[in-house]
Amino acid sequence: MPAVVYGSPAVTAPKPSALVVGTSFGWAMVRYAFDSHLFGDIHLDYYNRTLVEWPANIHAEVHPQTKEWNDAFLGKDLYVLDLLEVYLFAPDNYVDEFLAQLAAALAPP
């Protein structure tokens, strides 16, 4: 059986950006991502209402389809959806809202 060797990326390698969309459980994912030193730009979209830049802990209200929204939400390398089951099948939940906004932003003109 072949051996799998894991290692840290080269120091000069660009670090991927990450956006966690979710609930209070997203805080742990954001902190772990930061502590891993594997990611560059890390944000939490808290209930699709508040955008948090980490580790600066800067909070901003989410305004879809604005230039600021496009800059913060589009073009991330990794999107993590925190799907808390109590919201999963609820109408108009934060994940459905986020995915609809993302699809609208990415749709051809």
Question: With 70 as the cut, is the pLDDT of residue 1 above it?
Answer: no
Torsion sign over Cα 91, 64, 77, 104: positive
Q: Please check whether residue 74 lies inside any domain of the structure.
A: yes
Q: Please check whether residue 46 lies inside any domain of the structure.
A: yes
Question: With 70 as the cut, is the pLDDT of residue 33 above it?
Answer: yes
Q: Please check whether residue 12 lies inside any domain of the structure.
A: no
Q: What percent of the chain has pLDDT over 70?
A: 93
Q: Please check whether residue 66 lies inside any domain of the structure.
A: yes
Pairing of strands 18-22, 78-81: parallel
Q: Please check whether residue 76 lies inside any domain of the structure.
A: yes
Where does the pLDDT of residue 59 fall: very low under 50, low under 70, confident under 90, or very high at 90 and above? very high
> 92: burial class by Cβ within 10 Å (0-12, 13-18, 19+)?
exposed
Question: Containing domain of residue 94, as a range?
Answer: 18-106
Cα 83 to Cα 5: distance, rounded to the nearest angstrom: 31
How far is CA 35 from each of CA 29, 43, 55, 98, rounded to the nearest angstrom?
A: 10, 14, 10, 26
The whole model's pTM is what? 0.83
The domain tally of the chain equals 1
Q: Please check whether residue 91 lies inside any domain of the structure.
A: yes
Q: Please check whether residue 53 lies inside any domain of the structure.
A: yes
